[in-house]
Structure 1
Amino acid sequence: MLGILLGVLFDGLAYGMLLFLISIGLSVTMGLMGFVNLAHGVFAMFGGYVAVVLMQHADWPFLASLPAAFVAVAVASIVVERLLYRHLYRRSQLDQVLFTIGLTFMAIAAITYIFGPSQQPVRLPAFLQGQMRLLGLDIGIYRLFLIGVGLLVMLGVVFGIERTRFGARVRAAVDNPVMAVGLGIPVGVVFAATFAIGSGLAGLGGALGIQILGLDPAFPLKFLVFFLIVVSVGGLGSIGGTLLAACIVGICDVAGKYFLPEIGAFIIYAVMVALLMWRPQGLLRKRA
């Protein structure tokens, strides 16, 4: 029984790391930039399709397709942000929600037309397949890889926001954009760069998650609720809170589907309600 519990815990952590990689960008754009981007899952889906196209049609290795997915999604998100999103920053949240939901349906229709409605397969390299023996447990190598990538990304984002000049500019542009402009900070450029990094991480998560989450045109809507749960439970703009919430959601979802398959899909909603009743502002508030 202990082995089963540890196995479920490990699989839940790996799943949670995927949710963190995709959700952290949404947490940043909603918490730091104050922009409600419900099309965030589209960028994750785009990253997955970039990886699939590079591997299937250009014979790129899996690991090389990951940074390519990050860069491609980041560049595409800058175009979207400059052409569309920047006009909505001062609009109401309802306008932002309606626009980004509409953009999501447009993206789903476009992907369905180009690639069809079926799931996209991906083949992992041999060294990421199979299992390894660790502390008496058979651990999936790819899930261990996901946990490692998630922790590295978390450390990189924390360092970038809290310890760099760029992070200081982001915080200044969010707290007082007028004063930031007066100090010579290019607020528009800072917002575009922040949005690109968050979207690029979503693309990276989408590419990494093909094997576990699957990839089809319905991806943005299928997992939108999970991303919103992670962001709301973790606390807007809180990197540590997003990681903690993603791990909780991942573990509860995997455990529920394993031990209570009849109602397992609903357990995360009960957990979300309980956590938000306990901490309405999120598990970890954004540092002022």
Structure 2
Amino acid sequence: MASAITVLLDGVAAGMLLFVLSVGLSVTLGLMNVVNLAHGAFGMLGGYVCVVLLNRLGVPFPLALLAAAAAAAAMGFVLERLLYVHIYGRDHLTQVLFSIGLVFIMGAVADWLMGARTQLIQLPPWLSGRMEFAGIGLGRYRLFLIILCGFVALALHFGLVRTRFGARLRAAVDDGVVARGMGLPVGRIFSITFALGSGLAGLGGALGVEILGLDPNFPLKYMVYFLVVVAVGGANSVAGPFLAALLLGVVGVAGKYWIPEVGAFIIYTAMVVLLLARPQGLLARAK
């Protein structure tokens, strides 16, 4: 029982991290109809910002996380205004080719500036090690991930569903011409939304350095995981990708603990089963 609970908590932590890394892609794809395969590059940027601030400048870990998210959001805002704005409304193949090219460019820049070796960070003492509760060993950093990422999920859901900005975003996506006619700043709304998704990727990249590692191949290495979460959870909500990330995180960690020879194959099997059972997404209504 103790082993099962430990695996469950580790799986939930992995799922929470996967959600924060992936949800920005769900927002841009589902709400803005932009296939941004360069999403992981913003996660890589956040990870490198966190590494530099922690390892070279000695910045406290919470401030490094905030700076990583802010840097990725700022980069997303700039690139959206300079580049992405020109592919809105274009066919998905054009968007895929553009974003894949951007991945290789940002990976080459990261390799030039930081080198090809895997980057690691030293967690502060209050996040290191494990704590015992009722005979069950719980990793402090895993618990931190669960709490922080859970808060991010709730805040994002509330912001997109219950606020005026969320309503304006949905209106801009549904009919941009009418939204502009009503005086909504559609361009600004899209820029803020894209920056939000990029910032979440940066936060996830910073949080994931300890667990996933970090190198210039990060965007390509984990791209398929982001796409799996969006495909399984659906690209029109926050709750769907959240549930998908949790399921895939638990299944993936359980497979590595109990069937290590199978490895990541478990996640892809779960993806196929879930897509066959719910091709429209976990929480979407069948048409």
TM-score (norm 1): 0.97
Q: Distance between the aligned counterparts of 2:56 and 2:138, measured in 1?
A: 31
Structure 1 residues 253-284: Cα deviation after superposition (integer angstroms, max 9, x where no partner): 11111111111211111111110011101101
Deviation at 1:133, TM superposition (A): 1.9
Matched, 1:228 2:227: yes
Specify the SS of the correspondent of 1:193: helix
Deviation at 1:11, TM superposition (A): 0.5
Show the counterpart of 1:82. Answer: 81
Aligned-residue CA RMSD in angstroms?
Answer: 1.0
Question: Would the aligned equivalents of 1:37 and 1:100 in 2 still touch at CA under 8 Å?
Answer: yes
Question: Would the aligned equivalents of 1:22 and 1:44 in 2 still touch at CA under 8 Å?
Answer: yes
CA separation of 1:182 and 1:115: change in aligned 2, threshold 3 A: same
Instruction: Answer with 148-157 or 129-138: which moved more.
Output: 129-138
Gaps of 5+ in 2: none
Structure 1 residues 218-257: Cα deviation after superposition (integer angstroms, max 9, x where no partner): 1101111111001110011221111110011111111111
Show the counterpart of 1:126. Answer: 125
Aligned partner letter, 1:237: N
Question: Would the aligned equivalents of 2:252 and 2:266 in 1 still touch at CA under 8 Å?
Answer: yes
Mapping for residues 106-121 of structure 1, pairs under 5 Å? 106-121=105-120
Show the counterpart of 2:174. Answer: 175
Instruction: Answer with 40-49 or 126-135: which moved more.
Output: 126-135
Deviation at 1:135, TM superposition (A): 3.8
Deviation at 1:113, TM superposition (A): 1.2
Instruction: Answer with 173-182 or 258-267: which moved more.
Output: 258-267
Deviation at 1:134, TM superposition (A): 2.5
Q: Distance between the aligned counterparts of 1:135 and 1:252, measured in 2?
A: 24
Aligned partner letter, 2:11: G
Show the counterpart of 2:27. Answer: 28
Matched, 1:187 2:186: yes
Show the counterpart of 1:150. Answer: 149
Instruction: Answer with 52-61 or 272-281: which moved more.
Output: 52-61
Structure 1 residues 73-115: Cα deviation after superposition (integer angstroms, max 9, x where no partner): 1011111101111100111000000110111011111111111
Show the counterpart of 1:256. Answer: 255
Show the counterpart of 1:139. Answer: 138
Deviation at 1:178, TM superposition (A): 0.8
Question: Would the aligned equivalents of 1:258 and 1:264 in 2 still touch at CA under 8 Å?
Answer: no
Provide the aligned length of Structure 1 versus Structure 2.
285
Runs of 4+ in 1 over 4 A off after TM superposition: none
Question: Would the aligned equivalents of 2:55 and 2:122 in 1 still touch at CA under 8 Å?
Answer: no
TM-score (norm 2): 0.97
Aligned partner letter, 2:206: A
Show the counterpart of 1:102. Answer: 101
Instruction: Answer with 38-47 or 158-167: which moved more.
Output: 158-167
Q: Distance between the aligned counterparts of 1:260 and 1:159, measured in 2?
A: 38
Q: What percent of counterpart residues are identical? A: 56
Specify the SS of the correspondent of 2:264: helix
